[in-house]
Amino acid sequence: MAIMSYRDALNRALDEEMARDPKVFLMGEEVAEYDGAYKVSKGLLAKYGAKRVIDTPITELGFTGIGVGAAQVGLRPVIEWMTHNFALLALDQVVNNAAKMRYMTGGRFSMPVVFRGPNGPAEYLASQHSQSFASYWAHIPGLKVIAPATPSDAYGLLKSAIRDDDPVVVLESEMLYGTTGEVGNAEFLVPIGKAAVARPGTDLTLVTFSKPLHTCLEAAAALEASGISVEVIDLRSIRPLDMDTVRASVARTNRALVVDEAWPAASVGSHVAWLISRDCFDFLDAPVELVCSEDVPMPYNHALELAAQPSVAKITAAVKRALYQE
């Protein structure tokens, strides 16, 4: 096992897939000369040249559309958005073209394109650049949506995404790029649509994805000190969802909490909470709890910014409510 940062794990995945398949190329803002806004593409221009690592103008609709067209004729583009906040400008290409092409052509066209970049709250980015758009993508039939929270999953899931014949949206987190973890030395894939048990437990099932996983694990460790055993499920993939793993866990623990860094209305977290309530009703000994960001635009002030997001304190309080200890 190697200790590797999240950004280096993504870089390794891109490098290996570009070496394995000459049809794979990377396109986006500052991915080439600048080595990527977050240095995920560091060294790739020097290794693969300007025809496969392509800088673009600030035209998300345009270069996303080029990627959709390239996939339609047999290439395997990886489109990097500097942030999913900017991807709003490319919604038409992703939702109306990439997601529907296979369906509208009766399966005659595949769409092997990856759309990736940072999603969700970061620091000091205020209300226009610190938003979680997971539910935007998860809402659309025809897309696959993944949200790796560890370097190992970032590596294995991105490789799976690049090899997939359907469009895959990758939700990275700006705050995770510098985090480190173990990544296997040998090549491996992480399957899309399979959740992971990040921490076993017996008293409550805590379901989450992306950056909040680390906050949830911190909360679970704090709760253990008071005799509460929490099982933490990392969804990893939010379309498709692995509800089998979630249901099996809730059947054992009889309580559930969902944590999502997005707003509460029509979020991935609220959808998962509803699925648990519907499918696990006979197992539940308490209502399903949901911890999410406050229903406000993200403040710029750092104290308010942190207060708006899920925290260890909010998670532990919700766990205790579900256990009727508050």
Rounded to 10 deg, the angle between the 212-224 and 312-322 helix axes is 60
143 burial type by CB count under 10 A (0-12 exposed, 13-18 middle, 19+ buried): buried
Residue 100: which pLDDT band, with cuts at 50, 70 and 90? very high
The answer on pLDDT for 202 being more than 80 is: yes
pLDDT per residue over 47-92, tens digit each?
A: 999 999 999 999 999 999 999 999 999 999 999 999 999 999 999 9
Mean pLDDT calculated for residue range 139-166: 98
Rounded to whole angstroms, how far apart are CA atoms 40 and 77?
A: 16
Q: Is 131 helix (H, G, I), strand (E, B) or coil?
A: coil
pLDDT per residue over 236-263, tens digit each?
A: 999 999 999 999 999 999 999 999 999 9
Using alpha carbons, select from 62, 209, 72, 191 the residue that is nearest to residue 135.
209
What count of other Cβ atoms lies within 10 Å of the Cβ of residue 121?
23
Question: Where are the domain boundaries for CATH 3.40.50.970 in the chain?
Answer: 2-183
CB-based burial, 103-119: b 16+ in 10 Å, e otherwise: eeeeeeebbbbbbbbbb
pLDDT per residue over 5-24, tens digit each?
A: 999 999 999 999 999 999 99
Rounded to whole angstroms, how far apart are CA atoms 45 and 114?
A: 18
**What are the strands of the beta sheet with 114-118, ordered from one edge?**
53-55, 24-28, 76-80, 114-118, 168-172, 144-146, 237-239
What is the model's pTM? 0.96
Residue 1: which pLDDT band, with cuts at 50, 70 and 90? confident
Rounded to whole angstroms, how far apart are CA atoms 187 and 191?
A: 13
102 vs 71, 106, 167, CA distance in Å? 11, 6, 10
Q: Which CATH class is domain 2-183?
A: alpha beta
- Given the residues 17, 60, 261, 305, select the one marked as catalytic: 60
What pLDDT, on the 0 to 100 scale, is given for residue 303? 95
Q: Checking DSSP bridges between strand 76-80 and strand 114-118, what pairing results, if any?
A: parallel
- Given the residues 16, 30, 129, 224, select the one marked as catalytic: 129
Average pLDDT, the chain: 97
Q: Which of 114-128, 198-212, 235-249, 252-266 has the lowest mean pLDDT?
A: 114-128
Mean pLDDT calculated for residue range 166-177: 97
Type and span of the H or E element at 233: strand 230-234
Task: Say whether 129 is catalytic.
Answer: yes
CATH match of 196-322 with 3.30.300.20: no
Residue 301, C-beta contacts closer than 8 angstroms, at least 6 positions apart: none
Question: Where are the domain boundaries for CATH 3.40.50.920 in the chain?
Answer: 196-322
